[in-house]
Structure 1
Amino acid sequence: MAKVGRTAGLIGAAVGVLAAGAAAGVAVERQLIGRRSGQRAQLEAEPFGSLRGTPHVFTADDGVELYVEVDELKRSRRPEPPAKRGLRRKVVNPPEDLTLIFLHGYGLNMDCWHFERRDLAGIGTMVFYDQRSHGRSGRSPKENVSIEQLGRDLYGILEKFAPTGPVILVGHSMGGMSIMALAEAHPELFGDRVIGVGLCSTSAGGLDQVPIALPGRIGMMVRTLATPTVSALARIPDVVERSRKAGTDISYLLTRKYSFGSEVPPAYTEFVNEMIAATPISVIAEFYPIFALHDKYGALEPLQKVECVVIAGDKDHLTPFEHSEEIVRHVPGAELVEVPNCGHLGLIEHHREFTAALLGMIERAELALGQT
């Protein structure tokens, strides 16, 4: 039984990493090559997960409770992003009622925005929330697991936490898809309430044609097997979760390969795995099939009415850079930013480049608003 459990756990770890787009479902080996103490020191040096706002609970239209945090803008003193990080504000009189809403990706939670949350502080009121079934949010009914429902969740968040004033939307991977679903259901918001959009490492469709693990026909075969394999693992959650918590060397290496495109501090890998360790294999199994169905190219037209930046890495194996290029072809005027040596989690791996690109989009949106 122990051997069966270990085998199932290894399969679960590998498929979870490949399917989730951010090493979803794998707990990193804490003692890999004797690195634990060094990782912990780095985690303490950069206090990942320590940035907290005012907590709220928002009830979605189907009754699921979503965990929300709001970083309120201090009206009496509007700080600028730290100049030491190379981020200097160009807008002299930015709007006081600007709200930024951040949407994380599959298998992650709001803490993945750690660097952007730190370095964009003072831009406006910032709203972060855990997508349904992720992080500290409630579990979604299986029948409501869809990109369209995520768009409805975003609409409710926007109405509740940004009832007035201009809004900037920033989404990573599945979060970007959620923004596309909102554009499809409520195109009237774009160019009116929504003045800017940042799409990070995401896709508008065709993910069912992206090979997994290996290129070409073999990679497509792995993709075909991924859904039934994850579903089968979800039926033995106790076995899989025990193996995930134990961690393996191979899971660590897979995490690095499919999350990052360059050498990163081991603490970054540790941080990613600590975020996703609480994502049950059943959630992985429920959400995974929706990405093959995702097709929102027809919903991109409203984004032409706002400032839009599309940012991705050239070594993203999960939402390849070509998908970002295709988004921009459907959104003439959008800025396309290709980050070299960057994987799927560029918002962590190359956070300076991602934050700078987002800041540029925000300032262009503010300037355009001031000219209307």
Structure 2
Amino acid sequence: MANVGRTAGLIGAAVGVLAAGAAAGVAVERAVIGRRSGQRAQLEAEPFGSLRGTPHVFTADDGVELYVEVDELKRSRRPEPEPPKRRLLRKAVEAAPEDLTLIFAHGYGLNMDSWHFERRDLAGIGKMVFYDQRSHGRSGRSPKENVSLEQLGRDLHGIFEEFVPTGPVILIGHSMGGMSIMALAEEHPELFGDRVIGVGLCSTSAGRLDDVSIIFPGWPGRLARRIATPTVAALARIPDVVERGRRAGTDISYVLTRKYSFGSEVPPAFTEFVNEMIAATPISVIADFYPIFALHNRYDYLDALQKVECVVIGGDDDHLTPFSHSEEIVRHVPGAELVEVKNCGHLGLIEHHREFTAALLGMIERAEQSLGPT
């Protein structure tokens, strides 16, 4: 039984990595305790998960409680950014209207803490709203029948109305969070160009994800992606066994995390940070959400994004939402800025956070200018 648990845990870890676009949240094997100690020291040096705002609970239209944090605008207490961003941030802060709000939607298998660097470095531009997507982080578990991108769009709309009743809004989404923004644009295109003045899409796709190869190139990789759905569903039927295996972990899972999250050598703490976020995502949640991405196709609803300043940012080494998907979004949104980050994987918002923040700052500054004098 121990061997079954270990095998299930490894399979669960591998499939979770591929499905979630990060790791499957497994801890690194006890045999590499020395490496974990070094990572822990780096985690303490960069206080991941320490940025907190005012907590709220928002009840979605189906009764699921979503955890929300609001960072109120406190420009006088804004932390000093890193030198390359000081000029851009200063201009954005000076131009920002007092009632500007930024809403951040995170990706599959992650939580709001994945925005750590952006939350730190964009502070002072406006009020910032972060939330854990349903079944993720501190939010309540969604009924399986309500797990859909349409529902994620409705969740975002509800948070929009509850926490930003007036004033201009900028929406920023990573991976599944970007898809949530597209679902909102499908249902409420009237918001874009009116309340929404800017959109940042990070490492995401507007559809055809079934054509993306994983593990192997070409048709074997596409087959592997399709096999992942029933595999995850089968593992979800033995959650206790899988979770025990995930907690045990292996070096292989650590390698998979790095491969499918990052495109360059990153501090080990970055990988550990991702692992710790995903470790809280049960295999049953991975299984509930994975099939919805095959159904995602919103190219016909991207017109709304032409009404706002839009930047699409992707990594050239993203195995999960390849850069070609960013290019395809821009082809459907003429005028959107396309930013390719070199040596960058799916978690570019962590791996190359300086480049991602700079691109978002540029979009925010242009969106502010579209409002005219404040």
* Aligned-partner Cα distance in 1 for 2:319–2:221: 11
> What percentage of residue pairs aligned between the two structures are identical?
85
Partner of 2:85: 86
Indicate the SS of the match to 1:283: helix
Matched, 1:197 2:190: no
* Aligned-partner Cα distance in 1 for 2:322–2:278: 22
Indicate the SS of the match to 2:91: coil
Give the conservation status (yes or no) of the 8 Å contact 1:25–1:281.
Answer: no
Q: CA shift at 1:74, angstroms?
A: 2.5
Indicate the SS of the match to 2:372: helix
Q: 1:250 to 1:290 in 2, by over 3 A?
A: same
Q: CA shift at 1:351, angstroms?
A: 0.2
Q: Give 1:36's aligned amino acid.
A: R
Q: 1:232 to 1:83 in 2, by over 3 A?
A: closer
Q: 1:211 to 1:371 in 2, by over 3 A?
A: same
Residues 1-372 of structure 1: matches in 2 within 5 Å?
Answer: 1-29=1-29, 32=32, 34-74=34-74, 77=76, 79=78, 82=81, 84=83, 86-88=85-87, 89-91=90-92, 92-370=94-372
Q: Give 1:221's aligned amino acid.
A: L
Indicate the SS of the match to 2:86: coil
Q: CA shift at 1:130, angstroms?
A: 0.1
Q: Give 2:83's aligned amino acid.
A: K
Q: Deviations over 1:287-339 (max 9, x none)?
A: 00000000010110000000000000000000000000000000000000000
Indicate the SS of the match to 2:199: strand
Indicate the SS of the match to 1:111: helix
* Aligned-partner Cα distance in 1 for 2:82–2:290: 40
Q: Deviations over 1:48-81 (max 9, x none)?
A: 0000000000000000000000000037x37475
Indicate the SS of the match to 1:86: helix
Q: Give 1:344's aligned amino acid.
A: H
Gaps in structure 2 of 5+ consecutive residues: none
Q: 1:185 to 1:244 in 2, by over 3 A?
A: same
Q: Which moved more, 1:78-87 or 1:248-257?
A: 78-87
Q: CA shift at 1:26, angstroms?
A: 2.8
Q: Deviations over 1:20-70 (max 9, x none)?
A: 111134333465373122101100100000000000000000000000000
Q: Give 2:86's aligned amino acid.
A: L
Give the conservation status (yes or no) of the 8 Å contact 2:202–2:314.
Answer: yes
Q: 1:248 to 1:298 in 2, by over 3 A?
A: same
Give the conservation status (yes or no) of the 8 Å contact 1:103–1:171.
Answer: yes
* Aligned-partner Cα distance in 2 for 1:36–1:83: 28
Give the alignment's TM-score, normalised by structure 2. 0.96
Indicate the SS of the match to 1:27: coil
Aligned-pair Cα RMSD in Å: 1.4
Q: 1:81 to 1:308 in 2, by over 3 A?
A: farther
Q: Deviations over 1:240-272 (max 9, x none)?
A: 001111111000000000000000000000000
Give the conservation status (yes or no) of the 8 Å contact 2:14–2:24.
Answer: no
Q: CA shift at 1:9, angstroms?
A: 1.3
Q: CA shift at 1:3, angstroms?
A: 1.4
Q: Give 1:202's aligned amino acid.
A: T
Indicate the SS of the match to 2:129: strand
Q: CA shift at 1:239, angstroms?
A: 0.5
* Aligned-partner Cα distance in 2 for 1:147–1:138: 17
Q: CA shift at 1:117, angstroms?
A: 0.3
Whose helix fraction is larger, Structure 1's or Structure 2's? 2
